[in-house]
Structure 1
């Protein structure tokens, strides 16, 4: 997708931890846009995961880098748009979906449930939880398309405090883990897919906006995103440890 420019801020979503802004971009479409409030780390994680997920063929919601012009923020006398901020932001298309609930789970193809589980395990994303008593899986459902899942929200991926045991207890598709991790043929197939996606890592990193390397608009305070540690995390797919479910 080509870079976008935000031309109108319509409001702010009350859903999601970062409460993204609802914006119209210069292509005429509506997007959920995350900026300053999502932090540089969160924005970088969003982009890296969206790109890796797309390389794997996962149904990531259409996304792009969107520029928020200075004049939009300067015209905001109320201060309501300050959490969006100016400059580059992460935009995710607002598409005709509803939030996933437990009644949808049986309609999702087994292969896709496994894909999502393994992707989140790979990127240390503990933010896709659903149990019998509820949760927030950060998945959307297209009611007009049977089995059509839409994946969103990866700003909390690469979590340094990731708890493997908690992940397998809480993940929306945790019930698929035992059979998946025990199947050597599936493991080999996933290893090929994940390592193939990882070959694009240098190019993916090169597409990040330069300003995201800094916390401040003047670009004097480095954001210090842990690229080396994240790459090491992703590389563990080629180790036996990756396929061990904690007891």
Structure 2
């Protein structure tokens, strides 16, 4: 289903693409990404969002949305240039805050592992958090108060997963991932457990089954760079699919030494 954007409320000050804050016809508020995310970034968002949902990640609700052309024509300042008319990727606004390092321990281990394995699979190096800061692209949804292994009180809660425009990266650095991913501390135990690997491999295969529908439902306009649709965007679909098929290789679970 494609939503229609009925109101453009503002623009986010965060994120490289600075998505627009819009209200859609369903009455909900969404962050909308358009031309500033690039065609490849938009296709990455749509494919990874569908894969993440099928895998079982708590991804923020998402949809394709349509920006009425009259909105663009009425914009005399150029403020909507980075959004553009036509199809955009819309992620529903979630009432959460960006995950902080102090909150990582409060996330259930299975959920941390799910995000970690999924990001490894889709080659997403854009979920970083170290002592120096980072760009985590996870929203913290606080729950009850619990205790950690040292019997210290910690806030427990869930997360909402967002932003995959930089995933499916042909220049993915496995070593950088292992050093900077927000849940990198769980890598050794997760990747060395043979039974866990088997279970995750099966879930990844099942998630990949949505590829066909996701690809076939891409907006035709995203296949072109220009509005006149004369310059193909040349998205490397075959290479990306081969990247995702790497789950069939025993090397998939090998970490850099």
DSSP 3-state at the match of 1:89: strand
Runs of 5+ consecutive residues of structure 2 not aligned to the other structure: 145-155
Give the structure 1 partner of residue 125 of structure 2: 126
Distance 2:30 2:210 in 1: 26
Would you tell me which structure has more strand in proportion to its own residues?
2
Aligned counterpart in structure 1 of residue 248 of structure 2, from 218, 226, 238: 238
Q: Residue 187 of structure 1 corresponds to which residue in structure 2?
A: 197
For normalisation by structure 1, the TM-score amounts to: 0.97
Aligned-pair CA distance for 1:144: 5.1
Q: SS of 2:128's equivalent?
A: coil
Aligned twin of 1:113: 112
Matching residue of 1:82? 81
Give distance in 2, aligned partners of 1:86 and 1:56: 31
- TM-score between the two structures when normalised by the length of structure 2: 0.94
Instruction: Kindly state the Cα deviation for residue 143 of structure 1 after the two structures are TM-superposed.
Output: 2.8
SS of match in other structure, 2:126: coil
Q: Could you tell me how far apart the structure 1 residues matched to 2:203 and 2:96 are?
A: 28
RMSD, aligned α-carbons? 1.0
Cα distance in 2 for partners of 1:114, 1:10 equals: 36
Q: Does 1:219 align with 2:229?
A: yes
SS at match of 1:147: strand
- Structure 1 partner of 2:99: 100
1:182-204 CA-partner distances (Å, limit 9, x unpaired) = 10000000010001111221111
Match of 1:39 in 2: 38
- Measured in 1, the distance between the counterparts of 2:199 and 2:23 equals 40
C-alpha deviation, 1:217, in angstroms: 1.0
Name stretches of at least 5 consecutive residues in structure 1 with no aligned partner.
Answer: none
1:171 aligns with 2:181: yes
| Paired position in structure 2 for 1:71 | 70
Q: Which residue of 2 aligns with 1:208?
A: 218
